[in-house]
């Protein structure tokens, strides 16, 4: 990554140079840059991650709107003799999205449409809460949307668990009898549950043997 250069007589900014470096995959020696330059690069990269994430999430919501339109008007019936139903239509599109997933995006667009136009919430959080609030009042929808804005993903999961009458992770003492052992296969990366008895069961069995 070199210093600023002139383009049509205008001095190119360091951020313009950064964008070019990102697009070309150039290597940047951060050690030779000043503290201010390093700060600008870090800030701009974080801003770019956030803006691209927002664009991605909006794109998913728009896909949901498109799907809702297709289903409401049964557009798939007019796409040729080889398209018999909505699943065939989705396979024909070949966009790498399954029907359940795109239906989730359609649900998000329907439930949170007006809210997500002004406030960005990662779509994974909206997927988590959409089924909980889709049939609730506008007040409840706003309440859960605000929680999705304010809480990190883990804390939001705990809120959902508590709402459903389950034990949140942060409130669970993880009793021995409810634990299970898992092993990682380093060859394929799969997690495998240990088939042996749990520690609590083994301890109980040992006591019975005495």
Tell me the pLDDT tens digit for each residue of 24-72.
Answer: 888 878 888 888 888 888 888 898 898 898 899 999 999 999 999 999 9
What are the tens digits of pLDDT across the range 186-200? 888 888 887 655 455
The DSSP secondary structure of 35-48, one letter per residue, reads HHHHHHHHHHHHHH
Both tokens of 11, joined, read: 């001095």
Mean pLDDT score of the chain, rounded to an integer? 83
**Domain identity same for 196 and 92:** no
pLDDT score recorded for residue 60: 92
| 201 φ/ψ angles, rounded to the nearest 5 degrees | -70, -40
Residue 154 shares a structural domain with residue 203: no
Q: Are 183 and 162 found together in one domain?
A: no
Q: What is the pLDDT of residues 137-169, one digit of tens each?
A: 999 999 999 999 999 998 999 889 888 877 777
160 in a structural domain? yes
What domain count does the chain have? 2
Same domain for 162 and 205? no
Whose CA is closest to 108, among 97, 90, 123?
123
Phi-psi region of 165 (alpha: psi -120 to 50; beta: other; left: phi over 0): left
The pLDDT assigned to 4 comes to 46
pLDDT digits (tens, 9 = 90+) for 78-125: 999 999 999 999 999 999 999 999 999 999 999 998 898 888 899 999
Q: Please state the separation of Cα 104 from the chain's center in Å.
A: 12
Domain boundaries, position 117: 55-167
CA-based R_g, the chain, Å: 26
> 61 with 163, same domain?
yes
């Amino acid at each position: 990554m070199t210093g600023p250069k002139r383009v049509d007589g205008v001095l190119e900014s360091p951020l313009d140079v950064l964008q070019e470096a990102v697009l070309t995959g150039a290597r940047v020696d951060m050690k030779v840059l000043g503290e201010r330059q390093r700060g600008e690069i870090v800030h701009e990269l974080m801003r770019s991650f956030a803006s691209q994430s927002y664009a991605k999430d909006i794109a998913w919501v728009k896909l949901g709107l498109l799907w809702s339109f297709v289903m409401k008007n049964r557009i798939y019936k007019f796409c040729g003799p080889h398209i018999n139903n909505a699943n065939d239509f989705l396979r024909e599109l070949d966009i790498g999205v399954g029907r359940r997933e795109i239906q989730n995006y359609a649900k998000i667009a329907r439930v949170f449409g007006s809210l997500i136009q002004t406030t960005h919430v990662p779509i994974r959080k909206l997927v988590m809460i959409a089924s909980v609030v889709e049939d609730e009042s506008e007040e409840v929808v706003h309440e859960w949307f605000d929680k999705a804005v304010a809480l990190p993903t883990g804390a939001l999961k705990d809120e959902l668990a508590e709402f459903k009458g389950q034990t949140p992770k942060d409130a669970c003492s993880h009793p021995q009898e409810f634990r299970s052992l898992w092993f990682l296969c380093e060859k394929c990366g799969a997690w495998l549950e240990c088939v042996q008895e749990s520690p609590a069961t083994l301890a109980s069995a040992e006591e019975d043997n005495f």
